[in-house]
Homo-oligomer: A and B are copies of this chain.
Amino acid sequence: MKNKVQREIPDEILDQYHDGGFQSVNFGHPTIQRVAPKVLAQTGPSKVVDSIQQVVRDTVRDGMTISFHHHFREGDFVFNMVMREIIDAGYQNLSLAPSSLTNVMNDIVVEAIEKGVVTNITSSGMRGTLGDAISHGALKNPVIFRSHGNRARAIESGEIQIDVAFLGVPNADEMGNANGMDGETAFGSLGYALMDARYADKLVLITDDLKPYPNTPASIQQTEVDYVVKVDKVGDPDKIGSGATRFTKDPKELQIAKMVNEVITHSPYFQDGFSFQTGSGGAALAVTRFLRQSMIEKQIKASFALGGITKPTVDLLKEGLVAKIMDVQDFDKGAAFSMRESPNQQEIDASWYADPANKGAMVDKLDVAILSALEIDTDFNVNVMSGSDGVIRGAIGGHQDAATAKLTIISAPLVRGRIATVVPAVTTVITPGDSIDVLVTEIGIAINPKRQDLKDTLAKVPGLPIYSIEDLQKRAENLVGRPKPLAFKDRVVALAEYRDGTLIDVIKEVQD
């Protein structure tokens, strides 16, 4: 079948994995029976066990689904420590269901795949050697890519049933009360990991800082934890944060950020009490800075900032320009540490952040989202997953989720080096064009034709160049030429779900 974004989904894939292909960005109002874990009652004085080796042998069995979080990002030591023990113990046919996979995890996952230890993976994304291996057909079954909100939905509905979750934390007490805010390796919000904590049958905490009992605030609570393992170091503090709190000096990025701010501040959503998600990276930080200036000038304050949080956003909170930060993850130390002191920086889990299958997620109330793209096509469909060579090197993250905002802006350069960003058809559709409102490039913007209202409003903004997306695509093509169509093998190596669990695209094995 062809789904609603014109992607061919092989029937055998549909039969095997899903109810259907992507239909609509509207989730509707289904009633969903949630699942719940099996809980082994404990009343003992301590859950501390001697080693990861011991706890792996006590909990893991062939064929199980195991999970991790990626809040330590490139500073993560826990994933490798646990996977080493699992591989060495010789388990087979495991499903890996982390919130995402960072580069520091690549080599050991490739090893686990080669040895038959891991035969299924679901993740927000992957990059580097792992993305390359998957794209070349290394894994037995197709990877399933899910957004952060979709992962929460899939866990709640039982589509992802976690047998054992291994969660690294910067602090914990002997019973498992833990948070992400305190300690040398603090990363702030435990947002994604809170889903694993609530739904896994077995929960193993791994920490390098055993605190006196009871440890509070307890984002993860002892009632959810089966084992606590003390190790020397859970992560490298210097690599946990992106560190990218510097304002970009790239003139192209600055030009885009300025234009994004023009679009936001001239939209009908820029009024007292508006809300926004900017994300991370130099360009996003520049948007935050321009937005701050506009908010001061127009005396407009935001009700909340959402998503992955950075120091500049925390500064807006401290200045009183933002009333609340709803925090599912923190991208730098400044944001991580401030959570401890700011009662208005509320930790939220992935379900509250973005799950369409609950009683209301934060993204449902989001006015403005600024998102990136590897590619965007003339239907406004966005690819954040595969490179122009067809190889997996990205992550859905909260892209599909935040794109449901009232004003979703894709901020992207027209071309990157010799590669066009605005293309006739994206390699992989991750976020459907239906949920994208405006594309901002360094030379001007394109507005989704379904948003005639925005077109009328933004046409009045002096000095804001408006193009059709076809024009922008042609300009990109004029700059870098039209690449040869990619050739793929028939075998499907990965499935991209939309946030509701339907299939929005498949990724096929690349030709060498």
Asked if B273 and A212 sit within 8 Å, CB to CB, the answer is yes
Query: What's the number of copies of this chain in the assembled complex?
Result: 2
Closest B-chain residue to A158, C-beta based? Answer: B36
A337-365 interface bits toward B, Cβ cutoff 8 Å, 1 = contact, 0 = none? 00000011010100110011111111011
Interface hits, A173-198 → B, CB 8 Å:
175-176
Known contacts A176-B360, A343-B217, A365-B45, A352 near B222 by CB under 8 Å: yes
Interface hits, A194-235 → B, CB 8 Å:
203, 212-214, 216-218, 221-226
- The CB with the most chain B CB atoms within 10 A, among A357, A359, A362, is that of A359
Asked if A221 and B40 sit within 8 Å, CB to CB, the answer is no
| Bound CA–CA A360/B43 (angstroms) | 5
Asked if A41 and B359 sit within 8 Å, CB to CB, the answer is yes
A12-45 interface bits toward B, Cβ cutoff 8 Å, 1 = contact, 0 = none? 0000000000000001111111111111111111
**Contact for A223 among B31, B38, B361, B365, CB less than 8 A:** B361
Closest B-chain residue to A344, C-beta based? Answer: B216
Asked if A359 and B212 sit within 8 Å, CB to CB, the answer is no
| Bound CA–CA A29/B326 (angstroms) | 38
Residues on the B chain within 8 Å of A151, using CB = none
| Bound CA–CA A343/B324 (angstroms) | 18
Residues on the B chain within 8 Å of A344, using CB = 216
Asked if A359 and B39 sit within 8 Å, CB to CB, the answer is yes
- For residue A60, give the distance in angstroms from its CB to the closest CB of chain B: 17
**Contact for A29 among B32, B37, B41, B224, CB less than 8 A:** B41
Known contacts A217-B343, A303-B213, A39 near B357 by CB under 8 Å: yes
Interface check A47, CB cutoff 8 A: yes
**Contact for A36 among B34, B175, B225, CB less than 8 A:** B34
Asked if A39 and B32 sit within 8 Å, CB to CB, the answer is yes
Asked if A43 and B31 sit within 8 Å, CB to CB, the answer is no
| Bound CA–CA A27/B41 (angstroms) | 8
Closest B-chain residue to A45, C-beta based? Answer: B365
Asked if A29 and B45 sit within 8 Å, CB to CB, the answer is no
Interface check A323, CB cutoff 8 A: yes
- For residue A342, give the distance in angstroms from its CB to the closest CB of chain B: 10
| Bound CA–CA A361/B44 (angstroms) | 10
**Contact for A214 among B36, B346, B357, CB less than 8 A:** B346
| Bound CA–CA A156/B223 (angstroms) | 12
- For residue A150, give the distance in angstroms from its CB to the closest CB of chain B: 13
Closest B-chain residue to A212, C-beta based? Answer: B303
A400-428 interface bits toward B, Cβ cutoff 8 Å, 1 = contact, 0 = none? 00000000000000000000000000000
| Bound CA–CA A323/B47 (angstroms) | 21
Closest B-chain residue to A177, C-beta based? Answer: B346
Interface check A498, CB cutoff 8 A: no
Interface hits, A71-100 → B, CB 8 Å:
none
Asked if B27 and A346 sit within 8 Å, CB to CB, the answer is no
Asked if A214 and B362 sit within 8 Å, CB to CB, the answer is yes
Closest B-chain residue to A325, C-beta based? Answer: B216
Known contacts A216-B343, A359-B223, A31 near B42 by CB under 8 Å: no
- The CB with the most chain B CB atoms within 10 A, among A34, A39, A212, A225, is that of A39
Residues on the B chain within 8 Å of A36, using CB = 33-36
Interface check A331, CB cutoff 8 A: no
Closest B-chain residue to A31, C-beta based? Answer: B40
- For residue A167, give the distance in angstroms from its CB to the closest CB of chain B: 14
Asked if A222 and B39 sit within 8 Å, CB to CB, the answer is no
**Contact for A42 among B221, B225, B360, CB less than 8 A:** B360
- For residue A404, give the distance in angstroms from its CB to the closest CB of chain B: 8
A297-328 interface bits toward B, Cβ cutoff 8 Å, 1 = contact, 0 = none? 00000011000000000000000000110100
Residues on the B chain within 8 Å of A45, using CB = 364-365
Asked if A360 and B44 sit within 8 Å, CB to CB, the answer is yes
| Bound CA–CA A104/B359 (angstroms) | 32
Asked if A33 and B28 sit within 8 Å, CB to CB, the answer is no
Closest B-chain residue to A202, C-beta based? Answer: B359
- For residue A480, give the distance in angstroms from its CB to the closest CB of chain B: 40
| Bound CA–CA A343/B215 (angstroms) | 11
- For residue A183, give the distance in angstroms from its CB to the closest CB of chain B: 15
Residues on the B chain within 8 Å of A358, using CB = 39, 41-42, 223
- For residue A52, give the distance in angstroms from its CB to the closest CB of chain B: 19
Apart from A29-B43, A212-B273, A223-B359: 13 A-B pairs, beta carbons within 8 A: A32-B38, A33-B38, A36-B36, A39-B358, A39-B359, A41-B359, A44-B364, A47-B360, A214-B303, A214-B365, A217-B343, A224-B359, A225-B360
Can you sample 6 A-B contacts with CB below 8 Å?
Answer: A39-B359, A40-B359, A42-B359, A176-B360, A214-B303, A223-B351
